Amino acid sequence: MTSSSHRTSSPYPPTPSARPIVVLDFGSQYTQLIARRIREMHVYSVIVPCTVPFDELVRMSPQALILSGGPASVYDPASPRADLRIFKLNVPVLGICYGLQFMAAHLGGKVESASRREYGFARLEIDRQSELLRGLPSPLRVWNSHGDHVVEVPPGFRITGRTENAIAVIENPESRMFALEFHPEVRHTEQGSEILRRFIQDICRTPANWFPGSFIEQSIERIREQVGEGRALCAISGGVDSAVAATLVGRAIGDRLTCVFVDNGLLRKGEFESVSAALREQGHLKVRSVDASSRFLQRLRGVTDPEAKRKIIGDEFIRVFEEEARRLGNVEYLVQGTLYPDVIESVSVNGPAATIKSHHNVGGLPPNLTFQLIEPLRELFKDEVRAVGRELGLSEEIVSRQPFPGPGLAVRILGEITADRLRMVREADAIVTEEIRGAGLYNRLWQSFAVLLPVSTVGVMGDARTYAFTVAIRAVESEDGMTADWAPLPAELLQRMATRIVNEVRGVNRVVLDITSKPPGTIEWE
Ligand code: XMP
């Protein structure tokens, strides 16, 4: 993630040539999902805070507006508000949850606090007159999360769906305004994506024009315009974001881009060699591979605190990177793989989310270097980055890699990092990955890996007593890493991984499985 002092672009999302579906964010935890679902239909959608200045919104020339949910109560004076002229823009509007209440309250209806909060599943009974939901099975199981509810609909609207406790759907087809009390963007809602599809395709008649190919063309053009005859530098981390960002910029400016891949000694087995080679061959990039592992390990000696590890790794990275930049001399641009969720977070109505771990500090911009930023992935979600990578010709090996934290294996060895512990976690991780891939689960999991616990337990191997370390297996499903469920892996797979780890990794005699979801756990152990 970039430090704000280096941001050169507008804080609002970029405006591509297509007119976007604009999601006004009222603070819901599901806002990003709304935009993702729309993009899955190949329609460009952006998120802006509900407080976006009205002329800024007009400048975006939205095809339609979606008002997100949010935790507040509409009549609370401190509740988030949008400029009421949004209802005069003469574009279709869809309100979701708080968005419905906001519409009802400000278009002449009435909202009240419910006697009890409706949270979780509800049964939606659909009225046959509904234009938006016509022909869908009724009742539908829908996902709810609201305290207030509508008691009087605004003039011109009619009620077209109810749950047991609330008016759940209101519509004014003449002015193309629709609102739902439940969350169609959440996978738990039956027909949720179909409901959004109907709004986008049937009501708004938005053409599908958001494809990786057209994104690549536009962004190459933009990069050429920005960089002119200049030179650029890109730090490669082994992850998919920096690989795709570098390849895209490489397409635009050729060998005026230099990639620097620093081996911090904390990468996975074979990663440094295979990623460097793939980017040279598939991405046709000029890659400088720098082995700095001994410097990193030296500074990490004796350090056990997770945040101290992150700080040291971030700091050492900057030193190495600065040395490389100086060696090249005369480079004006720095490529960063910033993704859309970071951009959204920086303009969220809730303010940037509280930092639980000092993420993204590795690869952060050296504060005293004066680069201009190229951030070609600023408008993409992670799955879109993967689609762009495939379109650019990068192999599945690179494109479908699971996310890997910047501080690498350092946060997967609890306590002190030593060469021997790195060997153990690296070997164990390679076994987990190989077995997960062999079972065909690698792409279905958000992350799957091994953690080394320097906790010694007694075991018996052959006839001998052992006293050795423990490995924990962590496998999670997630859409964005913000929340995650532990993944129920098949018993035979777990058994194979455990047997192999104990047999093949010297120094480990016990394997345990982490069955904590996020929250309350985090994905990484440190
Ligand atoms: P947690 O552990 O907070 O992780 O649930 C959420 C996602 O972020 C990754 N992660 C990091 N990424 N630097 C990074 O670049 C870090 O320090 C870091 N810590 C966690 C983690 O792998 C997961 O995908």
Q: Is 311 in the pocket of ligand 1 (CB under 6 A)?
A: no
SS3 state at 44: coil
What is residue 259's predicted lDDT score, i.e. its pLDDT? Answer: 97
Pairing mode, if any, of strands 464-477 and 485-486? Answer: antiparallel
Q: How far apart are CA 366 and CA 370, in angstroms?
A: 9
Q: Is 407 in the pocket of ligand 1 (CB under 6 A)?
A: yes
What is residue 9's predicted lDDT score, i.e. its pLDDT? Answer: 41
Does the pLDDT at position 211 exceed 70? yes
What is residue 367's predicted lDDT score, i.e. its pLDDT? Answer: 58
Does the pLDDT at position 248 exceed 80? yes
Active-site choice (185, 316, 379, 435): 185
Mutate to test the pocket of ligand 1, among 357, 362, 518 (most ligand atoms within 8 A of CB): 357
According to DSSP, the residues that pair with 485 across neighbouring strands are 477
Give the domain ranges of the chain: 21-203, 214-399, 418-513
The top-level CATH class assigned to 418-513 is alpha beta
Q: Is 481 in the pocket of ligand 1 (CB under 6 A)?
A: yes
97 noted as active-site residue: yes
Tell me the pLDDT tens digit for each residue of 252-284: 999 999 999 999 999 999 999 999 999 999 999
More confident residue, 319 or 115: 319
The ligand 1 atom at the shortest distance from the C-alpha of residue 356 is 3
Does the pLDDT at position 358 exceed 60? no
Going through 186-308 in order, the beta strands assigned E by DSSP cover 232-236, 257-263, 287-291
Q: Is 403 in the pocket of ligand 1 (CB under 6 A)?
A: yes
Pick the CATH number of 214-399 from 3.20.20.70, 3.30.530.50, 1.10.10.10, 3.40.50.620: 3.40.50.620
Q: Is 359 in the pocket of ligand 1 (CB under 6 A)?
A: yes
- State in Å: Cα 178 to ligand 1 middle: 38
What is residue 194's predicted lDDT score, i.e. its pLDDT? Answer: 98
What is residue 7's predicted lDDT score, i.e. its pLDDT? Answer: 34
Same fold: 21-203 with 214-399: yes
CA atoms within 13 Å, Cβ hemisphere of 297: 17
More confident residue, 15 or 138: 138
Through-space distance between the first and last CA atoms of the chain, rounded to whole angstroms: 19
Compute the mean pLDDT over every residue in the chain, rounded to the nearest whole number.
91
Mutate to test the pocket of ligand 1, among 241, 266, 358, 523 (most ligand atoms within 8 A of CB): 523
Q: Is 173 in the pocket of ligand 1 (CB under 6 A)?
A: no
Domain 21-203 carries which CATH code? 3.40.50.880
